Amino acid sequence: MRFEWLVGVLLLPCASLLAKKTTAAASSKWWSVAIPHRETNEVTGTAPVDEISGPSSSINRIKLLNKSQRKTVRSNSGSIHAIAAAVALAVNECRYQFRLRRWNCPTNTKATGQTSLFGKILLKGFRETAFIYAITTAAVTHSVARACSEGSISTCSCDERDKGPSGEDWDWGGCSDNAIFGHRFAKKFVDAGERGRDSRNLMNIHNNEAGRKTVLAEMKRECKCHGMSGSCTIQTCWMRLPSFRTVGALLKDRFDGASKVVFNNNGNPSGRGRQNPSDFFEPFNPDHKRPNSKDLVYFEDSPDFCERNPRYGTVGTVGRICNNTSLGMDGCDLMCCNRGYVSEMEQVKERCKCTFKWCCEVHCLECDYTRTVHRCE
C-alpha cells in the first residue's frame, strides 16, 4: 500500500478527467435503491418513492452499490430496507422544503439505475446540490437509527469501540442512542461513494457530514423517574430522534445560509492521513467566517432555474403555480422570472372540516372552492 499515493498522483489527471463523467453517477447511484426495480420504472411527481419489496429485488438493489457500499450493507443485514426508506424520506422532505421555490427538487421520471435520481444537478457544485447530499445523508442516519430501535438491523450497537475498562459495548441488544450507529453507518456507506479527491467530492463529503451532524444535534434527551414513589432517585434517560421534518427545516435554513467556498492547495490531495474536507477550502469572501462542520458549502453559483436546461436537468418554471400576493420566492414575479402569469378561475375540490379518528379514519367533507390560480407563462 505504500505506493498507493504514487499511483494516485500518476493517475490523478486521468482520474479527474474520468471523474467528470463517472464520480457523480457512482456516488449517487445508491439513491436508486429506493426505486422499485420493475420494467416501468416510473417515479411520478408526487407519489412517495418507497416500495419495500421481497428479497429478489433487494439483490437487484445491491447491484446498484459500489463494492465497499455492498460490503457495508452485507455486513449489516436489514440495512438495505432502511436505505431505501431513507431515500424516499429524503425526496419527500426535499420536495416539501422546496415546494415554494423555483427549483422544487425534481426527481427523474426515468430512473434505470444508470442515471441519478436527482438528475444532472449533481454534477455541479450548487447550493441545491449541497442540500441534496445533506438531506439524503441525514435521511440515512435517521432511518438507520430508527431501524435499529425497531430491531430490523441486527448489528446495531451503542459503540463500536471496544475500548475502556468497563467494556463500552455492553449493550445487551440495542441502546437508546442508536443515532451514533446511524451516524457511523451513514458515514461508512454514503461517503464510500465519494472516492475521488476533487473539489466536488470534498464538497459532498463535507455536506454529508453536515447532514449527519444535524440529525445528531437535534437529538433530545428525555427522562422518566421511577424510583420509590416515583421519585427521581432512579431515572431513566434516553435520546429521542427528531422528526425528519425538523431536520429538513434545519437543513433548509442551512441552505439559505450556505457558504460559497474556494478550494486551496493546502490539503494533501492524495487523501493520505486524516484530514477534514474543510481543510481544503476557505470562504470565497475572505471576510466571511470559515464554515463550520454543520454549514453547507458550495462552490458554484446556482443558475436562476427559470428556463428548461438540459445541462442541469431542470425543467424551468413554466406552468408552475405561484402566489400573486407573496413577496417571497413563491410570489409570481420571482417564480415566473418576470415572464408574467396567467390567472384562471378554477373549481377546486378539497377536503375540509376533517375529523380525525385514530387511526386510519379521517372523516372529511368535500368542499368546493372557486379559486383563482396563477400559473407562470
Q: Which listed range, 134-142, 195-203, 230-238, 367-375, lies at the site for another protein (CB under 8 A)?
A: 230-238
Q: According to the binding rule CB under 8 A, does residue 170 interact with another protein?
A: yes
| Number of residues counted as binding another protein (CB under 8 A) | 56
Q: According to the binding rule CB under 8 A, does residue 369 interact with another protein?
A: no
How far apart are CB 158 and another protein at their closest, in Å? 9
The amino acid sitting at 55 is P
Burial degree of 236 (CB within 10 A; 0-12, 13-18, 19+): exposed
Residue from 257, 356, 365, 371 touching another protein (CB under 8 A): that is 356
Looking only at residues 79 through 118 of this chain, which bind another protein when binding is defined by CB under 8 A?
96
Alpha carbon of 360 to those of 240, 267, 354: distances in Å? 25, 55, 13
Q: According to the binding rule CB under 8 A, does residue 228 interact with another protein?
A: yes
Residue from 230, 257, 328, 340 touching another protein (CB under 8 A): that is 230
Q: Which listed range, 110-118, 223-231, 265-273, 314-322, lies at the site for another protein (CB under 8 A)?
A: 223-231
Q: What letter would DSSP give residue 172?
A: S
The amino acid sitting at 141 is T
Residue from 61, 102, 142, 213 touching another protein (CB under 8 A): that is 213
Residue from 168, 198, 282, 304 touching another protein (CB under 8 A): that is 168
Q: According to the binding rule CB under 8 A, does residue 54 interact with another protein?
A: no
Residue from 15, 52, 62, 315 touching another protein (CB under 8 A): that is 52
Is there a contact between 307 and 277 (Cβ–Cβ < 8 Å)? no
Q: Which listed range, 68-76, 110-118, 152-160, 324-332, lies at the site for another protein (CB under 8 A)?
A: 152-160
Helices (H) and strands (E) in the chain, counts: 9, 8
267 phi, psi to nearest 5 deg: -75, 175
Residue from 13, 358, 370, 372 touching another protein (CB under 8 A): that is 358
Is there a contact between 198 and 17 (Cβ–Cβ < 8 Å)? no
Q: Which is nearer to another protein, 234 or 342 (CB)?
A: 234
Q: Supply the DSSP string of 21-71, one letter for each residue.
A: HHHHHHHHGGGGGGS--SSS-B--SSS-------HHHHHHHHTTS-HHHHH
Q: According to the binding rule CB under 8 A, does residue 47 interact with another protein?
A: no
CA distance 274 to 128: 28
CA distance 43 to 177: 34
Q: Supply the DSSP string of 307-361, one letter for each residue.
A: S-BTTTTB--STT-EEBTT--STTBHHHHTTTS-EEEEEEEEEEEEEEEEETTTE
Q: According to the binding rule CB under 8 A, does residue 177 interact with another protein?
A: yes
Q: According to the binding rule CB under 8 A, does residue 222 interact with another protein?
A: yes
Residue from 67, 274, 359, 366 touching another protein (CB under 8 A): that is 359
Q: According to the binding rule CB under 8 A, does residue 323 interact with another protein?
A: no
Q: Which listed range, 35-43, 192-200, 334-342, 353-361, lies at the site for another protein (CB under 8 A)?
A: 353-361
Residue from 224, 288, 308, 371 touching another protein (CB under 8 A): that is 224
Q: Which is nearer to another protein, 3 or 358 (CB)?
A: 358
Q: Which is nearer to another protein, 12 or 249 (CB)?
A: 249
Angle between helices 244-256 and 199-217 (to 10 degrees): 130
Q: According to the binding rule CB under 8 A, does residue 154 interact with another protein?
A: yes
Q: Which grid cell sits at 322? A: 405561484
Q: Which listed range, 35-43, 203-211, 241-249, 338-346, lies at the site for another protein (CB under 8 A)?
A: 241-249
Chain centroid to Cα 288, Å, comes to 26
Is there a contact between 285 and 260 (Cβ–Cβ < 8 Å)? yes
